[in-house]
Amino acid sequence: MPNYLVIGGISSGKSSYAEQIVNDVCKVNKNSKIYYLATAAITDDEMYEKIRIHQDRRPKDWTTIEEEIDIVSRIMEIEETNIIVLIECLTTWLSNLIFHKTDVDYNTKKLINFLATNTDATIILVTNDLGESVISANRETREFQKYNGKLNQDTAKVCDSVYKLTAGIGIRIK
């Protein structure tokens, strides 16, 4: 099954674009069940509001799975085949891995291997492009940008289609 990557800056329209890809795939695979894998935790009022907006926008027949760390295992727990899984978002997931002091290399390799061998699901991934940002004076931020860039590159390699979002406009780059 195909993998899609939707990449862009913060508030570039990535989520809405990824949701439209889900709808487009559903037109072809009418019997597919849709799963929305949410990686964000509610950490403050602003994040609560952002999550609420995303929830309100999603159709009620989509099944939401909340998972901050082990996203691959959660997908593999789904018993159906011919499913569509929208993962929102890899950058938040990466920050969760770092915050919870889990093995970033192990978990990112696990995801890439899953994507490369996946035959049961259409996977649509959303991620932030931090490569167009300034180089931070903060060592931890530079390290996060490095991990995020590597994750995005590795994910793009195993995705069939990659879309870059700028100002709500998606351009297919692969």
Looking up residue 48, the CATH number of its domain turns out to be 3.40.50.300
- Is there a contact between 114 and 87 (Cβ–Cβ < 8 Å)? no
Percentage of the residues of the chain whose pLDDT score is greater than 90:
68
- Secondary element (H or E) of residue 29: none
Which domain, by its residues, includes 82? 3-172
Contacts of 87 (CB under 8 A, 6+ apart): 37, 39, 71, 93, 123, 124, 125, 126
pLDDT grade for 19, boundaries at 50, 70 and 90:
very high
Percentage of the residues of the chain whose pLDDT score is greater than 70:
100
Q: What pairs with residue 3 in β-bridges?
A: 123
**CA–CA separation, 24 vs 159, rounded Å?**
17
Residues 82-119 have pLDDT tens digits of: 899 999 999 999 999 999 999 999 999 999 999 999 98
Question: Can you give the pLDDT at residue 62?
Answer: 92
Q: Which residues have a catalytic role annotated?
A: 54
Residues 39-53 have pLDDT tens digits of: 987 778 887 787 787
**CA–CA separation, 75 vs 94, rounded Å?**
17
Reported pTM: 0.91
Question: Can you give the pLDDT at residue 135?
Answer: 79
Whole-angstrom CA distances from 122 to 27, 87, 164, 168, 171 are: 13, 11, 19, 23, 20
pLDDT grade for 77, boundaries at 50, 70 and 90:
very high
- Is there a contact between 75 and 27 (Cβ–Cβ < 8 Å)? no
Residue whose entry in the numeric block shows the structure tokens 């192990």? 106
**CA–CA separation, 32 vs 82, rounded Å?**
6
Number of domains in the chain: 1
Question: Can you give the pLDDT at residue 81?
Answer: 85
Residue 140 corresponds to which tokens in the numbers above?
Answer: 């931890």
**CA–CA separation, 13 vs 102, rounded Å?**
29
**CA–CA separation, 29 vs 151, rounded Å?**
29
Mean pLDDT score of the chain = 91
3-state secondary structure of 44: coil
